[in-house]
Amino acid sequence: MSINRKIYIVGAGPGDKDLITLKALKILKQATYVLVDDLVNQEVLSFCPQAQIVNIGKRGGCLSTPQEFINRLMVSRGKTEEVIVRLKGGDPFIFGRGGEEIQYLNAHGIDVEVIPGITSAMGIAAKHQFPLTHRAMVQGVTFITGHTIRENSVNWGALVQSKTTLAIYMGLKNIQKIITSLTESGMNKFMPVVIVQDGLRKNEQFIKTTFDSLSIIAKELNQDLPTIFFIGEVAGLASNQQLLERKNLREFG
Amino acid sequence: MSINRKIYIVGAGPGDKDLITLKALKILKQATYVLVDDLVNQEVLSFCPQAQIVNIGKRGGCLSTPQEFINRLMVSRGKTEEVIVRLKGGDPFIFGRGGEEIQYLNAHGIDVEVIPGITSAMGIAAKHQFPLTHRAMVQGVTFITGHTIRENSVNWGALVQSKTTLAIYMGLKNIQKIITSLTESGMNKFMPVVIVQDGLRKNEQFIKTTFDSLSIIAKELNQDLPTIFFIGEVAGLASNQQLLERKNLREFG
């Protein structure tokens, strides 16, 4: 029996299970052992009923499995004959720690194949019909984390000056500090903002507002839910008409 | 017979047809009329053999179908009973003009549903195994266009200061100007750079270098191919060992 020294690092996409790629689906159907991140939509596991599922994960600020343990588990399993998938929410390479895991696995003699996934901000923008770039408004989009292991490692001032759409992941805990930095750097107080919690899931919370109301609204948010803040002119294009048809809509500002 | 006043704006993903989402696939299988952008991998059309295919598109700097004609065609078709898909390369909302098309269609009484796609930079990063963010290196990634309809609408200096990974789409024509702006703003001359042309396609060209060599290399590139420049520490993680196994590899610097 040949020993499989390869692990698939696969992006599951955001909350809607049909946003997984066909390539990821084909690999899940062959998987025998799936290591699942805690931000993965559990419905995705219906694509691999034959596989042994191990729920692990590492969520900013929560008690969960240490990265070092996950790495060691992948290496020990990676030296068996199983078809091993490391399944991550969104995309493995946008805040997914895919890079760190590849470095560790390669250093331990295990090859990796990476399958990209729709990152949460893209899934949310599509659902709510606001583009992330727009020729007449904004020439780029920045995906940035608000949760960093080093202080001051994000230059919020430069991001304001860049005039790109900002999609801030994992920013809820530090949002008041982030708002202060953005304000000091000249963020327009009328800049549209969209806040989405539990994006694309059953209990998704959608809020559309403007930058000057963000500080007050952020205090009312459920601190335990995965949250993305979109800040930029394009956020103003999210269609009110369609939003009003949805449950859980709140609109401020 | 009920008249369908809805158009699906669908991201086909990048060059590898299996990187399409399951949701996009399901819609393509029902489509009767598909308006195809010229950056879409034509292999994706094997998912909708039943549909009438119309190749249209609008590629920066090339002669192709004007946006106004595309918009009018969508509106006239959108008022028939067909299941109409507007199929775009990558993601409709990252340099895909999806926002502009929604505005036009909504203004003409046609509803839209948007299905996201893997954008080219994410597909390329996954294939070549370099992450776009990395906790120890870089806290964000910016997708930016180098081809704009307004002069000076991108603040390259702020992007250098933002210290995010830069993925520059459609930047080849203006790359020497962009390099000058980045250099004047203090871009580190040893910053790793990855250049990919015809990403994820049969004839993909992959070049790994550093910022100080980019100007010379860019002069040798085929000006007619879709090109993405990645500039940032993470580009240095693209694995040499794996690259050497691939065809069409050139490494400089």
Q: Which residues of chain A neighbour B118 with C-beta distances below 8 Å?
A: 21, 116-118
State both tokens at B49: 């053999």
Closest CA to A208 of A240, A184, A182, A181: A240
Residues of A designated catalytic? 37, 58, 170
CB-CB under 8 Å, A133 with B95:
yes
CB-CB under 8 Å, A26 with B21:
no
User: Which residue type sits at B240?
Assistant: N
CB-CB under 8 Å, B131 with A96:
yes
Euclidean distance between CA atoms B198 and B39, whole angstroms: 10
Arch. (CATH architecture) of B120-251:
2-Layer Sandwich (3.30)
Q: Which residues of chain B neighbour A13 with C-beta distances below 8 Å?
A: 21
Supply φ then ψ for residue A229, to 5 degrees: -105, 125
Determine which of A96-105, A185-194, B45-54, B69-78 has the lowest per-residue pLDDT on average: B69-78
| Residue of A212 and A70 predicted with greater confidence | A212
Is the separation of the CB atoms in B70 and B7 below 8 Å?
A: no
Give B92-124 pLDDT, tens digit per residue. 999 999 999 999 999 998 999 999 999 999 999
Euclidean distance between CA atoms B97 and A132, whole angstroms: 10
- Measured in angstroms, the CA of B172 and the nearest CA of chain A are apart by 16
Closest CA to A91 of B222, B27, B132, B53: B132
| Residue of B160 and B151 predicted with greater confidence | B160
CA of B128: which chain A residue's CA is closest? A114
Residues 6+ apart with CB under 8 A from A252: A207, A208, A209, A213, A217
- Measured in angstroms, the CA of A53 and the nearest CA of chain B are apart by 22
pLDDT of amino acid B241: 45
Per the annotation, the verdict on B1 as an active-site residue is: no
Contacts 24+ apart (CB under 8 A), B59-65: B60/B147, B60/B170, B60/B173, B61/B147, B61/B173, B64/B38
Instruction: Indicate the pTM of the whole model.
Output: 0.92
Per the annotation, the verdict on B58 as an active-site residue is: yes
CB-CB under 8 Å, B133 with A93:
yes
| Residue of B173 and B60 predicted with greater confidence | B173
The CB density around residue B67, as the number of other CB atoms within 10 Å, is 15
Residues 6+ apart with CB under 8 A from B137: B233, B234
* Catalytic residue of the set B37, B122, B127, B191: B37
CA of A91: which chain B residue's CA is closest? B122
Say how far residue A34 (Cα) sits from the centre of its chain: 19
ipTM: 0.92
Percent of chain B with pLDDT over 70: 89
CATH topology of domain B6-115: Cobalt-precorrin-4 Transmethylase; domain 1 (3.40.1010)
Is the separation of the CB atoms in A223 and A172 below 8 Å?
A: yes
Q: Which residues of chain B neighbour A141 with C-beta distances below 8 Å?
A: 94, 142-143
CB-CB under 8 Å, A162 with B158:
yes
Contact pairs from chain A to chain B, CB under 8 Å: 201
- Measured in angstroms, the CA of A197 and the nearest CA of chain B are apart by 19
Euclidean distance between CA atoms A116 and B200, whole angstroms: 12
Give A52-81 pLDDT, tens digit per residue. 999 986 554 455 578 888 888 888 887 777
State both tokens at B229: 């420049």
Residues 6+ apart with CB under 8 A from A222: A197, A205
Question: Would the CA dihedral through B154, B224, B123, B246 be positive or negative?
Answer: negative
Per the annotation, the verdict on B187 as an active-site residue is: no
**Identical fold at B6-115 and B120-251?**
no
Q: For chain B, report the end-to-end CA distance as a whole number of angstroms.
A: 64
Supply φ then ψ for residue B196, to 5 degrees: -130, 130
Give A102-119 pLDDT, tens digit per residue. 999 999 989 999 999 999
For chain B, the domains span 6-115, 120-251
